[in-house]
Amino acid sequence: MLADKFSHIYIEENALSYPLAQKALYRFKNAVKVEIGHYKDVFCRPNQDFQLQKRAQNLILAVKKDNFIYKGPELCQNFGNPNFYYTSSLLNCVYNCDYCYLQGMYPSANLVAFVNIEDFFAAVLKQLNSQPLYLAVSYDTDLLAFENVIPFTAMWIEFAAGNPDLLIEIRTKSAGYSSIAGMSSVSNVILAWTLSPDVIVEKYEKQTPALSSRLSSIKQAIADGWKVRLCFDPVIKAEGWKKIYEELVDEVFLSLPPDKIYDVGIGPFRMSADYLKRIRKSRYDSDLIYYPFECRNGIAGYAEEAEKELVTHVYSCVNKYINRERIYL
């Protein structure tokens, strides 16, 4: 899929000397290279069309100067970890899910890869001096889907292997486990897969692999000894949703050994109301975006009772296979 992307690569002048930048440039030797002063000169230009850019996504190589890690937002699950942080070595995603908040968060659909990964590591080490850390490295993107361009996933795994007080989660919808299959499993790394019914994948998770492909990757990761997290998130209130999520959960645990699953997360659709308002101004092709969500404390989502019903039903399906101590809502 990535072979059709990145006809143009924009490179900050001070990024050129970094090995990761050179790796990406070599990967796309035929791309038009454009030197720029700062990534925001391209990424934050006014009047960009997010969906139009998604059809011909380009790559920006940059050096991040500060704010390498952020406190985890309350909107996101911390899976029982109090010192929850996240980081973004890659801005945006190669996929284009209808429910993705990034289309309301960023002015551009182009990808920004920060090539000074060592500075991210240094910031994490500084934080580790005062306390252990739970770090989500792939919340605002899909690092594993980007691995054949820049091996961020492998680099974070290698970094975690040398820092036992760090627990990292790498979340993905990809079927690209083969890109890291040669690595030994690391006890303080969780590989987390987002799983949806095929009808949801086909309608709302554009360009992502089918459920069966994701399950094949998960099965291999489990066999190789990795801690694997399953994420039924977001649960979408589609027509016949009870049956399609029952069938999803049964299919997942007929394919995967429940006792080998580290834990499970379940969550309903939710998004910043401001992001949703911005998305609605720029796209008209998704019924999901125009569902009459309610706004509570600045967050758009299903009505409280409907949301409770969604989560409770999927929880009861999962609980047939996984004990409740390993299920997070």
Q: For residue 160, is pLDDT > 80?
A: yes
Q: For the whole model, what pTM was predicted?
A: 0.95
What distances in angstroms separate CA 250 from CA 27, 161, 191, 202, 266, one per listed residue?
40, 34, 21, 19, 15
Where does the pLDDT of residue 39 fall: very low under 50, low under 70, confident under 90, or very high at 90 and above? very high
Q: Give strand pairing partners of 113.
A: 61, 90
Q: What is the pLDDT of residues 238-285, one digit of tens each?
A: 999 999 999 999 999 999 999 999 999 999 999 999 999 999 988 888
Give the mean pLDDT of 285-300: 94
* Phi, psi at 70, each rounded to 5°: -130, 150
Q: Which tens digits make up the pLDDT trace of 89-129?
A: 999 999 999 999 999 999 999 999 999 999 999 999 999 99
Say what the pLDDT of residue 264 is.
Answer: 98
**pLDDT cut 70: percent of the chain above it:** 98
User: 193-249, pLDDT tens digit by residue?
Assistant: 999 999 999 999 989 999 999 999 999 999 999 999 999 999 999 999 999 999 999
